[in-house]
Amino acid sequence: MKKIILKYYLPIFASALIFIAPIILINYSEDDFSDIIIGLSLLVIFLTFVLGTLNYKFGDKLTFNNRKKSIKKDLFQEFIYKGFDDNEVSVSGYLENYYTIISDERDSTYPNKWIEIIILFNPKQQSQFIPNYVFQKLYNQGKNNYSWNSNSLTIKKVYGLKVPKYRNIRDIIDEAIKILRDNNIESIKGEEWDSSLKESVTHYRQISSLKN
């Protein structure tokens, strides 16, 4: 239940609050302030319930359809032409031996759109799990659109009206792969990555619990 509220209702609540807050400021009157607050609060709750329920029932399907439609755009068709697999809602394949997944993402309640790039890598260096200080070093490089995990790198390329060109996304991927190689982080086959996932997650959870 908590996950449903956070995923489907909370974004609607936040959007409604952002929309209504200026109305409160513009119509501020000391005499009527409490009435305005009560009225608009009820409106926020009503909108959150109605729109959140619609988001819960149809949001995932709408997201799936949007992502499926995006695969027909030139960016993804270019990757498919160059050998990537069409997974309906994403494309995936190897670049410089690194397994890469690319998809078109967007918020259901905010006008944010981005190309999401996931690059899988071997969580081990010389048969040992990559030390935490390596990830700390990578994090300190200040790449705000990078999200580092123990066995993958996720990159978000935010865009406006037009989907980025193939060359633009390819340059982003090439730069990321160079960073991986410069830090001796090796590539891994997709099927090997799947089999190493559980072991990798368990290891870093144990490290985290020891620190705490």
Burial 125-153 (b: 16+ CB within 10 A, else e): eeeebbeeeebeebeeeeeeebeeebbbb
Fold of 71-211: Yope Regulator; Chain: A, (3.30.1460)
Instruction: Return mean pLDDT, the chain.
Output: 80
pTM of the model: 0.71
For residues 89 and 103, the answer to whether their CB atoms sit within 8 Å is yes
Res. 10: pLDDT tops 80: no
The reported pLDDT for the residue numbered 27 is 61
Band (204; pLDDT cuts 50, 70, 90) = low
The reported pLDDT for the residue numbered 55 is 59
Res. 211: pLDDT tops 60: no
Res. 212: pLDDT tops 60: no
Mean pLDDT of 126-152: 88
Closest CA to 107 of 6, 10, 11, 5: 11
Most confident of 7-11, 32-36, 90-94, 128-132: 90-94
* pLDDT tens digits for range 170-180: 999 999 999 99
The reported pLDDT for the residue numbered 59 is 56
In the chain, which segments carry CATH 3.30.1460.10? 71-211
DSSP per position, the chain: -HHHIIIIIHHHHHHHHHHHHHHHHHT--TTTHHHHHHHHHHHHHHHHHHHHHHHHHHHHHHHHHHHHHHTTSHHHHHHHHTT-EE-SS-EEEEETTEEEEEEEEE-SSS--EEEEEEEE--SEETTEEPPHHHHHHHHTT--TTEEE-SSEEEEEEEESSSPPPHHHHHHHHHHHHHHHHHTTPPP--HHHHHHHHHHHHHHHHHHHHHH-
